[in-house]
Structure 1
Amino acid sequence: MSTVFVVRNQDGYFATKQKEWECGREAKLLFRSPHKDEALNIVFELSSKDIYLRAEAISVELDDKKQPVVEVTAPPKAKPVAEVDDQLTTEDAEIAESKADSEQPAPLAAE
């Protein structure tokens, strides 16, 4: 197996290709580089945005699908409130619609 470098912060989250932090459960999203200097550049870029960040470039193995094998220690990130609100609104609308359909009075029989 070959190795690559990934970036992990002090909370156990890994940098993604979009320079955001994820728990590492979806390895295909993670930033990875065969060169340590590229990973250190990402550490520098992310640290310049957040002075309290403590990140490091670590070497990890690749699996059979060429994805980094990382030890997941951090919980999954919560979805932003806007996404949750959108989902609730859609679900609420579907529930209200189904209730409205079931509460309509039955048609009267013709006499």
Structure 2
Amino acid sequence: MSDGVFVIRNQLGQFWTRAGEWVDGREPQRLLKIKHHDEAVNQLVELSAKDIELRGEVLACDLDERKEPMVEASSHLTPTLAERAAEKSAEKAAEAALIAAQENQLSQEEDGVAEQINDEQEPPLSAAV
């Protein structure tokens, strides 16, 4: 197969990536593309040794005009890179909001303590005229 590559697919129809994770195939640029069948089989054997529940297969795929493998996406969806980035951004925003709220609460508590100290230090007003 000169104008194609081999990819590894698991029992859920997900594909192994260069980053070492299983994805659904909606982003074919992320897939591990292996030029030689024996290398793909070796990779599958290594994956199977780490995960005894894995039921994988090596698939021969043609390439599209962008030189990406043409695969059918799995029905077992995984987050895309954009979805992961949005999730991380939302987590950072929530963390920043929590820190700001904690700092605000601490500031209010410090202001309350300072006012209480000032009230205790002021001498009583005398009514002598």
SS of residue in 1 equivalent to 2:68? coil
TM-score, normalised via structure 2 length: 0.62
What number of residue pairs does the alignment pair up? 93
Larger CA Rg, structure 1 vs 2: 2
CA RMSD between the two structures: 2.9
CA distance in 1, matches of 2:28, 2:79: 18
CA distance in 2, matches of 1:85, 1:24: 21
Indicate conservation of the 8 Å contact 1:19/1:46, yes or no: no
TM-score, normalised via structure 1 length: 0.71
- 2:26 matched to 1:25? yes
Give ranges in structure 2 of 5+ residues lacking alignment.
81-85, 102-129
CA distance in 2, matches of 1:15, 1:72: 12
Q: Report Cα offsets for 1:33-56 as digits up to 9, x if no partner.
A: 120011111101110110010001
> Greater helix share, 1 or 2?
2
Indicate conservation of the 8 Å contact 2:12/2:76, yes or no: no
Runs of 4+ in 1 over 6 A off after TM superposition: none
Give ranges in structure 1 of 5+ residues lacking alignment.
98-111
Indicate conservation of the 8 Å contact 1:17/1:31, yes or no: yes
